[in-house]
Structure 1
């Protein structure tokens, strides 16, 4: 198989064919688009999620903290603890491992998340460092928002800008490729996008506002996130390319590589479905968070409108990060 997530049908089969035990104290279970499990502990619930970093060579620690904490934040819950597993290839130095842990410590300190434990190992099973984290959050029972809660007629809101994580990764990993395409200011802007990939703030705001569904936009970009949200909810969507918030530097990067920013990994953006998108956008903007309504939840099918023409959005395949031919 090629690099990247399993395709939707294969992943669905792997998950659904290997779920023998179902406990009563698990309120929300894993599934397509449902990145967090929610476990009942009486008056409170534990929200838990796990993800690796495999598509970047720089900022591993920073990315790992935020992509995992973002999953928990997409439930409208504040993350409180993180477990870290580092698998490093032979030849890795102690300094390199320590640098990754220093990044993790710095980022968790910013968002008040405690490092609870984990595992560190040098192994010939990998040819580059693989970092996987599990994050836990705590919520009052029944308050955690799930991906599958979208309802027909909901406005679809996107926060910040799409593909900022992908833009940051690409410019960091292939800087020389963009020096003739981007200005020094744009390269600096792309390198600093790492500071914008947390969605904890908007997750908390939206959770308190009252929304039906949230999903952080990661591998597969906004189109992948939309597909996962509506599949979890058993519904459809209609969104408009002209409403998608994409930075100019991202457009230039994607144009140079001939990739679609709507299919590029997008940690830092939250996808939200809510009955009152205008009020939520207004609130987010007042809090300093860019937000736009990109479309609506519909009864069936996923539709993207490009230049007035409707396209059916297929199931997500590999992220554009893995489709680059240099």
Structure 2
């Protein structure tokens, strides 16, 4: 039986990646492990396309749908421009549910300068809560295209903002009652507000202007899974340092309360960057100049068998999460 969340990599290879239809002559980057978008040659520019469902949250689902998909497009160096969305509603859904989702989609897309250009809406038998599936399209000049599989040995691993932002916000929203009793209303409201930092569009476009080899938006499985995805896609390994990974106090407390690993908690809002070692300082300074927290947490290494984290001076393997920690509590 498959676990909740993303399909394991070995099953993707076995069941998915050998059934991809016709070979597209203009496809520069197609479906593969650790690849969050496709890149298609349109001559003077590259069309970047990504699709993602929102299944782990009901509150703010339209907000998440726009930003999660925009993030994937931005990691290729492209500016998100057009959005298609399929909205699947549970039986007996009230019109107000659809109206609320559309208002969230409209506001979020408008903020990013994105046009909603199509989609599908239906009431779907068997659903317990709504599911929104988005497809974002963006555009980038050929010379500025970045991929998530471009990390090179010796590259610095840079992360922006803090680990587990999305997961912290979702848990604070879904389990607000017991968290308020444990930590107080002000704490919970602050944790819930982390959703406002979920976009990495500015992070990615800023880093790309300086010059990077790869970028990735760690979603399910958090920082830990994101590191594995970047390394697998590029055929390299990594060594990161636990004390360098920025994590908000609210995330640590919530994870401690539910016995969760913050490094395996869904982390939209964080951007992972592979930058040439000599460029790392400039990338971090450019990000901080835009008010975006950023830190170098380690490096990519040549040996793909080395996927380790250093904690309290001791090195240990950083295992790929079987599923996201979020599923334990929502």
Determine if the TM-score, normalized by the shorter chain, exceeds 0.5.
Answer: yes
Q: 1:163, 1:221 within 8 Å by CA — same for their partners in 2?
A: yes
Instruction: Find the counterpart in structure 2 of residue 42 from structure 1.
Output: 43
CA distance in 2, matches of 1:2, 1:191: 27
The gaps in structure 1 that reach 5 residues or longer are none
Counting matched residue pairs gives 325
The offset of 1:218, in angstroms, is 0.7
Out of 302, 319, 324, the residue aligned to residue 299 of structure 1 is 302
Instruction: Find the counterpart in structure 2 of residue 281 from structure 1.
Output: 284
SS, match of residue 209 in structure 2: helix
Q: 1:51, 1:134 within 8 Å by CA — same for their partners in 2?
A: yes
1:182-230 Cα offsets, whole Å, 9 max, x none, are: 2332212112111110000011111111100000111110010000001
1:144-200 Cα offsets, whole Å, 9 max, x none, are: 110110011001000011111000000100001211332332212112111110000
Instruction: Find the counterpart in structure 1 of residue 5 from structure 2.
Output: 4
CA distance in 2, matches of 1:183, 1:51: 34
Instruction: Find the counterpart in structure 1 of residue 237 from structure 2.
Output: 236
Q: How does 1:1-326 map to 2 (within 5 A)?
A: 1-275=2-276, 276-300=279-303, 301-324=306-329
CA distance in 2, matches of 1:213, 1:264: 22
Q: 1:160, 1:290 within 8 Å by CA — same for their partners in 2?
A: yes
CA distance in 1, matches of 2:63, 2:173: 13
CA distance in 1, matches of 2:313, 2:131: 43
CA distance in 2, matches of 1:304, 1:8: 21
Q: Which of structure 1's runs of 4+ aligned residues deviate more than 6 A? A: none
CA distance in 1, matches of 2:229, 2:192: 29
SS, match of residue 329 in structure 2: coil
Q: 2:180, 2:187 within 8 Å by CA — same for their partners in 1?
A: no
The offset of 1:20, in angstroms, is 4.3
The offset of 1:23, in angstroms, is 1.9
SS, match of residue 82 in structure 1: strand
The gaps in structure 2 that reach 5 residues or longer are none
The offset of 1:142, in angstroms, is 4.1
Q: 1:15, 1:31 within 8 Å by CA — same for their partners in 2?
A: no
The offset of 1:14, in angstroms, is 2.2
The offset of 1:57, in angstroms, is 2.0
CA distance in 2, matches of 1:133, 1:171: 24
CA distance in 1, matches of 2:32, 2:171: 29
CA distance in 1, matches of 2:143, 2:10: 30
Q: 2:87, 2:130 within 8 Å by CA — same for their partners in 1?
A: yes
Normalising by structure 2, what TM-score? 0.96
CA distance in 2, matches of 1:59, 1:92: 16
Normalising by structure 1, what TM-score? 0.97
CA distance in 2, matches of 1:87, 1:150: 37
1:233-281 Cα offsets, whole Å, 9 max, x none, are: 0000000110110000000000000000000001000000101211111
RMSD, matched Cα: 1.2
Q: Which moved more, 1:136-145 or 1:54-63?
A: 136-145
Q: 1:8, 1:316 within 8 Å by CA — same for their partners in 2?
A: no
1:113-132 Cα offsets, whole Å, 9 max, x none, are: 00011000001042211100
CA distance in 2, matches of 1:20, 1:135: 21
The offset of 1:82, in angstroms, is 0.5
